[in-house]
Structure 1
Amino acid sequence: MTDSNTPEIHRKLDKIARLLAFLVLFEFLKLAGELLTITSVGNSFFSMLSLVIVLVLLAGISVIITS
C-alpha cells in the first residue's frame, strides 16, 4: 500500500461505514416500531418513555451517520 492509495482506501471505508450505519438505523427503526407497538397496549407512561428513548437513540444514530 502506498501513500497515493490511502485517500481511495479511506473513501471506500467511509462508504462501507455509512452503509453499515444505514443498516443499523433500518434495523433499529424496525425494533423501535415493535417496541412502540408492544408498549402502546400498556401504560401510557411507558409508551411515552419508550418513544423518548427511541427518539434520543435515533438522533444519536443520525449524528453518527452525518459525521
Structure 2
Amino acid sequence: MPVFKIWTVLLYIRALLSAPNLDEPLNNTVGSLWKSDEEEALKRASQQRILGNDEEHYEIQIRVELNIEEDHID
C-alpha cells in the first residue's frame, strides 16, 4: 500500500509551485532577478509567455543570455 495517496502528492506539488525556494532556484539568473527586482522578473516572465515556449525560443534565449554566437553552438 502506498504511503501517500495521489491527492496528497498533488497538494504537495501545488504547495511547492506556489511558494518556490528562492535560495535554491532552478535558474540562478531568474532567482537573482526575482530577489533584486520582482517587478522586472514578472515583466520578463510575461514577455516570455507572449513569445512562446517552444524549443527554438529557449535556444535563442540561452544564446542571448550567455552571449553565444549561433555558429559556436555544437
TM (normalized to structure 1)? 0.32
More helix by share: 1
| Pair member with larger Rg | 1
TM (normalized to structure 2)? 0.30
More relative contact order, 1 or 2 (CA 8 Å, 6+ apart): 1
